[in-house]
């Protein structure tokens, strides 16, 4: 890629590098925004389906109300609750909270959102069903709200999980920090994959493999600069290292240049397939 902006102009090289970095940053954020839009779309569909089910089933003692009242009541609550739940899920992903623990993520989000959501439900129940606003009625709502919130957040967390990705370096950037951790015998080798073995990481490279003491989540953060992704809870794979893929019996495997086969969990298979890893 040319470093200038073209048409006879020769800007300062540092400005060109800065422009590349800025464009890469914009592209990365745009791709993440697109991924979030797709995830949010699934979240809204889940909320809509849940609202319709609860309305037509007359859940939690609402069967005596007219269908129109139940539809407005449940759809409104499900959509409002999903907005809060997805915001909390986005925050947990942004800060890497409870990584690789979807059940814990869902339960924590449900616990955090239950008190404020119960206030909304409290007000909505009073408005729709003429129930007095008392502390006793508020407290009586908490278990039901927690149950629904836990179910909804679990569905959303599982539906929207994506592999943690790393991105190729742009011109002018130094090598990924993680490469400095390679043992001397592997220095200068091309990194194919990193897999977790107890408290250690096995480094799969063009010069063989070796172990280092490190957590995989910390390693992925330092692998920015190499295009790759988590393919499994215990594997990160460089995209350029993949030479073939096979799937069967509900599972997929990526074959790497060194002959190693990296597993792909069902959690990440769809997202990796959409990214054309195979």
CA trace torsion 46, 50, 52, 53 (10° rounding) = 140
Cβ proximity of 193 and 235 under 8 Å: yes
- Using DSSP's 3-state secondary structure scheme, residue 163 falls into coil
Residues 6 or more apart in contact with residue 192 via CB below 8 angstroms: 204, 205, 206, 237, 238, 241, 256, 257, 258, 260
Residues 6 or more apart in contact with residue 19 via CB below 8 angstroms: 5
Q: Is 140 exposed, middle or buried (0-12, 13-18, 19+ CB in 10 A)?
A: middle
What are the b/e assignments for 66-95, b being 16+ CB within 10 Å? eeeebbbbbbebbeebbebbbebbeebbee
Q: What letter would DSSP give residue 2?
A: -
Rounded to two decimals, the pTM is 0.54
Q: What letter would DSSP give residue 177?
A: G
- Predicted pLDDT at 101: 67
Topology, domain 165-169+176-274: OB fold (Dihydrolipoamide Acetyltransferase, E2P) (2.40.50)
Geometric angle at alpha carbon 28, from 25 and 31, rounded to 5°: 150
Instruction: Spell out the per-residue pLDDT of the chain, length 278, in tens.
Output: 333 334 333 334 334 444 444 444 444 344 444 443 444 567 788 888 888 988 898 888 888 888 998 899 999 888 888 888 878 877 776 665 555 566 777 788 889 889 999 999 998 888 888 888 888 888 988 998 999 888 888 777 766 667 888 888 777 678 899 999 999 999 999 999 999 998 999 999 999 999 999 999 899 989 999 999 999 989 999 999 999 998 766 678 999 999 999 999 887 888 888 888 88
Q: Could you give the CA distance from residue 274 to residue 38 in angstroms, rounded to a whole number?
A: 12
**13-57 vs 135-160: helix crossing angle, rounded to 10:** 130
- What residues does each domain of the chain span? 13-160, 165-169+176-274
Q: Could you give the CA distance from residue 217 to residue 226 in angstroms, rounded to a whole number?
A: 15
Q: Is 167 exposed, middle or buried (0-12, 13-18, 19+ CB in 10 A)?
A: middle
- Predicted pLDDT at 26: 42
């Amino acid at each position: 890629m040319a470093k200038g902006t073209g048409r006879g102009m020769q800007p300062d090289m540092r400005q060109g590098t800065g422009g590349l970095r800025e464009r890469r940053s914009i592209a990365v954020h745009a791709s993440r925004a697109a991924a979030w839009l797709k995830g949010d779309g699934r979240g809204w569909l889940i909320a809509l389906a849940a609202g319709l089910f609860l309305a037509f089933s007359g859940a939690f003692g609402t069967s005596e109300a007219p269908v129109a009242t139940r539809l407005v009541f449940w759809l409104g609550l499900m959509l409002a609750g999903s907005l809060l739940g997805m915001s909390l899920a986005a925050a947990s992903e942004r800060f890497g909270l409870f990584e690789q623990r979807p059940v814990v993520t869902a339960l924590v989000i449900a616990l955090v959102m239950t008190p404020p959501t119960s206030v909304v439900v409290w007000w909505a129940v009073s408005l729709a069903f003429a129930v007095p606003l008392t502390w006793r009625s508020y407290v009586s709502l908490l278990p039901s709200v927690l149950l629904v919130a836990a179910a909804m957040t679990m569905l959303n967390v599982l539906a929207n999980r994506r592999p943690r990705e790393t991105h190729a370096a742009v011109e002018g950037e130094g090598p990924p920090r993680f490469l400095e951790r390679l043992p001397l015998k592997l220095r200068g080798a091309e990194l194919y994959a990193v897999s977790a073995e107890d408290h250690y990481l096995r480094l799969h490279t063009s010069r063989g493999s070796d172990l280092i003491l490190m957590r995989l989540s910390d390693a992925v953060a330092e692998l920015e600069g190499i295009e790759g992704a988590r393919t499994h809870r215990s594997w990160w794979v460089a995209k350029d290292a993949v030479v073939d893929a096979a799937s069967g019996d509900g599972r997929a495997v990526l074959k790497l240049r060194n002959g190693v086969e990296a597993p792909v969990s069902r959690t990440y298979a769809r997202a990796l397939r959409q990214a054309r890893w195979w």
